[in-house]
Structure 1
Amino acid sequence: MSGPRRRAPRWLVATGLLTPTAAWLGLFFLAPVALVVEYSFATRDTGLDKVVLPWTAQAYLTALNPDFLPIFVRTISYAICTTLACLVLGLPLAWFIARHGGRYRNALLAAVMVPFWSSYLARIYAWKTLLDDDGLVNKLLGGIGLGREGGFLLTDGAVVLGLTYGFLPFMILPLYVACERFDHRLVEASYDLGHGPVSTLRRVVLPGIAPGVLAGSLLVLVPSAGDFVTPKLLGGVDQSTFGSVIDDQFRGGNNWPLGSAMAVVLLVLVIVVVVLRGRRGEDVL
């Protein structure tokens, strides 16, 4: 008889399972980020119109110029407003699907995913048409005296609206998972103990679905902070974000060191916000 089969050590099994993912992230995430960091310390040779590598921090000095501070503030403000709007709109829908969806639950979730079946760029262009001076939105609001001369394009509200529309499913799906796992009997118990709807929402529901709120917030906050398509199409010069400025440096400006330095600064800023949100998000709820 053969002896008992020897099992591989756990560390070896874990290493084997993680190696493909680590290799993928290293090749397609860490390597591009390292290249961007390298370019951020380069120098633009205006005479030869190319990037050379006597290492310097000049690009970071330019990126951290106080003149760019309003763009920083605007970028983070758009991201925070988009996250809050997605949370306010997504939570009731996720709660309804999880608790009252019944046999239509899969159909409702599929409806949430429908926007992903078409091009993001095409959908933003559709909003550009809707918000224009002669667009449907301005005509309908003009009929009740709320129209706006020139339409609603080139405004902060148009940018936040476009970002909210684009990233709302990223908020709904994590919230739905959290709401589905939530023990709804706790709500009934809260009512039995004399708490009203607002108190129940604040003391019972939000703490119970906090992981979904945190996950959805991060999934919306990070990409909306780096988005440059929506501000370019729905906004103007006064609605420029750091993402759109970075895009200008890599394309029209042909200033890769400055664009790379801005990208690194934005990455660090988003990481700081994510870390602070991860540490304090549940306490706030």
Structure 2
Amino acid sequence: MSIRFDGKVAIITGAGGGLGRQHALALAERGAKVVVNDLGRAGADGGETPAEAVVREIVAAGGEARANHASVTDVTAVEALVKDTVAAWGRVDILVNNAGILRDKSFAKMTLDDFRLVVDVHLMGAAICTKAVWDLMKAQGYGRIVMTTSSSGLYGNFGQSNYGAAKMALVGLMQTLSIEGAKDNIRVNCLAPTAATAMTEGLLPAPVLEKLKPEAVSPGLVFLVSEDAPTRTVLCAGAGTFERAYITMTQGVHVGFGAGTPERIAAAFDAISDRDDEYVPESGTVQGRNEVGKALQA
């Protein structure tokens, strides 16, 4: 079965280059009308902006696209972006929160301003854009939203405490929004890409970068925003390989509380950590149910 987006409207942030550009081209090729959002401005020669260049590519290939230059951290500009999209095309079906920046340094050397800036762009930018389309998608009874997370958030990476914190926060945002959006057919997922882009230039050797082309990631994005997409999924993608990441919980051990509890935890820590029969809770309330259930059994 071919995945198509005929009649669907997609907004992709940070789509002037790299992953966002490939996402835009991939959705447009399959029939979507695409808003190419990118903060990048025209060069010194006064030529087209990165967003306009991507729009030109899409239109030349027979697709429909519009350029937008709003910052994802600007609430008013993002609201105007959504309003303009609806005025032009009547709806918004897909939102891809892809815009991001890097300010890599070890935590000891990082300024709080650089920590806050990265969190603002990645986390608050995604929240602002999602908030701007949420009521519209609820009214439509249809929406597909993807947050761009990262292995740096899921598993950690030296020098990326700000980036990792923001990227893992997006997983938490996805977890809750997927629950809240379920009744209105709004499916929310995360994509964790490994790709060579302007953000990773100089960080990896050339032979590795050649394998990590952004276009090898976009098929995962296409799947995550399709009509039959899953929800509450963290899909990892790079070099044509796709994995799925989970946040799991072990069965745990009831050791009680009161005097000597820290020592009992230490003694039982291997059993507490035992991954046999670990599972993926359907919501945060499962942890409490498990804990109270074991306490009552004890």
TM-score by length of 2: 0.25
- Which structure ranks higher in relative contact order (CA pairs < 8 Å, sequence separation ≥ 6)? 1
The structure with the largest helix share of the pair is 1
Which structure dedicates a bigger proportion of its chain to strand? 2
